[in-house]
Amino acid sequence: MAQKKTSSIVDAYLVAYNAASFIGWAYVLIQTTLYLSEHGTNLDGLFARVGYPLIYVQTGATLEIIHSLIGFVRSSPMTVLMQVYSRLLLVWGTLYMFDYPEVRASNALVLMIFAWSITECVRYSHYALSLVGIEVYPLLYLRYTLFYVLYPMGVTGELLEMWAALPHAAAIRPALKGFFLLNMVNYPPVLYKLYTHMIRQRRKVLGCEGSKAKTQGAESAESAVSKKKKL
């Protein structure tokens, strides 16, 4: 009985966490879209509009490392750590640290924001609904398909952001520039690991595409995911 009550509390917490994260990322996505519709290619005020909301909502994802470590979810702590670490490096190590147009008013930032926010809006809404027993197949399909495009798009934006920060990092300390370069060199193997992980997850959850994927993927495979609360 106590175990069931504890499980219910954890489920309620995860629903709240996923819903709050969805709202945060939706705000960043909407505000970025509105800014671009209002100002076009003039990105001088983009960071002022969405910079700090982006930093805060991404920093909140550090909780996912804790979730995996204490067993709230069944995700691999190492996989979660790799995903969260690279993004924290971008929001705090580049965007927050370097107030320069090539960092805060760049097309790379736009690429990064759209790739991250679309990915997370789909992911968090999908898991929040799954945890309360609502299965939406289009969200399931997007969750395990959009990464084909959004992962390379996001990585391109991230690498360009770090590249733009290199001269400013070197001005502070040469070792800081070396740290950024080391992280950039590590991107290909890490991207390969995350990309192949998502491909395996897609095959596991969706199986073959078509009507079979829609019925079995949504009803059985994703049901198992939601029950295990895998983020």
pLDDT per position as a tens digit, 143-186: 999 999 999 999 999 999 999 999 999 999 999 999 999 999 99
Tell me what pLDDT residue 120 has. 97
pLDDT per position as a tens digit, 36-69: 999 999 999 999 999 999 999 999 999 999 999 9
Q: Residues 98, 171: contact at Cβ < 8 Å?
A: no
pLDDT range class, residue 4, cuts 50, 70, 90:
low
pTM: 0.85
In our burial notation (b when 16+ CB lie closer than 10 A, e otherwise), range 18-28 reads bbebbebbbeb
Structure tokens at 162: 């770090």
Total domains in the fold of the chain: 1
pLDDT range class, residue 230, cuts 50, 70, 90:
very low
Phi and psi torsions of 101, nearest 5°: -55, -40
For residue 11, give the nearest of 130, 131, 167 by alpha carbon: 131
pLDDT per position as a tens digit, 70-122: 989 888 888 889 889 999 999 999 999 999 999 999 999 999 999 999 999 99
- Tell me which residues are annotated as active site: 151, 158
pLDDT range class, residue 8, cuts 50, 70, 90:
confident
Contacts 24+ apart (CB under 8 A), 85-89: 86/158, 86/183, 86/187, 86/190, 87/58, 87/61, 87/116, 87/158, 88/58, 88/59, 88/62, 89/162, 89/183
What crossing angle do the helices spanning 107-131 and 2-39 adopt, rounded to 10°?
Answer: 150
Tell me what pLDDT residue 74 has. 86
- If one counts every other C-beta atom within 10 angstroms of the C-beta of residue 40, the result is 8
Q: Where on the phi/psi map is residue 75: left (φ > 0), alpha (ψ -120 to 50), or beta?
A: beta
Rounded to the nearest integer, the mean pLDDT of the chain is 88
Q: Residues 114, 29: contact at Cβ < 8 Å?
A: yes
Tell me what pLDDT residue 6 has. 62
**Given a cut of 90, is residue 213 above it in pLDDT?**
no
Domain with 7 in it = 2-228
